[in-house]
Amino acid sequence: MMISTRGRYALRVLIDLADNNTGGYIPMKDVAARQNISLKYLERILPTLTKAKLIEGVHGKGGGYKLTRDPSDYTVGEVLRLTEGDLAPVSCLSNDAPPCDRMSECRTIRIWRDFYDMTNKYFDGIRLSDLTAADGSDQYVI
């Protein structure tokens, strides 16, 4: 499993919005500059975050984006499942996978299920607020 730039950048956008929250909307060009991410690329990620109601945006003068919830109410797992589609390590465990004919005799399914569960629990255990430590200590690198 490899997390794409889409998933990593979505997390960086949300962290930046949390770090720079003043109660108002934050221009995405400012986020793009701080995060060194192409504004064009961010414009492809923002609709996904907006549609899922993770952020809200306003166009025009004074516009931009802001979080819709407190940073402690977001999990990394939620963001990655939204941007990556699924965190399943094998196709037969994907949400939209057809039933596998070999499931009853598969000798490896248990390790894949355990890995999948472990991955989801790990990412669901990290909150956006955990990534916005004010002192910069013990931060995750994204």
- For 72-108, the pLDDT digits (tens) are 999 999 999 999 988 999 888 888 888 888 888 999 9
| Count of CB atoms situated within 10 Å of the CB of 134 | 6
CA distance 140 to 58: 30
> Closest Cα partner for 123 from 81, 77, 82, 86?
77
Per-residue pLDDT band at 139 (split at 50, 70, 90): low
What's the pLDDT at 129?
A: 95
pLDDT attached to residue 82: 96
Sort residue 68 into left (φ over 0), alpha (ψ -120 to 50) or beta. Answer: alpha
Phi/psi region, residue 79 (left: phi>0; alpha: psi -120 to 50; beta: rest), is: alpha
22-44 confidence digits (pLDDT tens): 889 999 999 999 999 999 999 99
- pLDDT higher than threshold 80 for residue 15: yes
**What's the pLDDT score for residue 121?**
97
| Distances in whole angstroms, Cα of residue 120 to Cα of each of 11, 87, 125 | 16, 7, 8
39: left (phi over 0), alpha (psi -120 to 50) or beta: alpha
pLDDT band at 133 (very low <50, low <70, confident <90, very high): low
Q: What is the pLDDT of residue 101?
A: 86
**Burial class of residue 136, CB neighbours in 10 A (0-12, 13-18, 19+):** exposed
* Reported confidence tier of residue 142, pLDDT bands at 50, 70, 90: low
The proportion of the chain whose per-residue pLDDT surpasses 90, expressed as a percent, equals: 71
| Mean pLDDT taken over the chain | 90
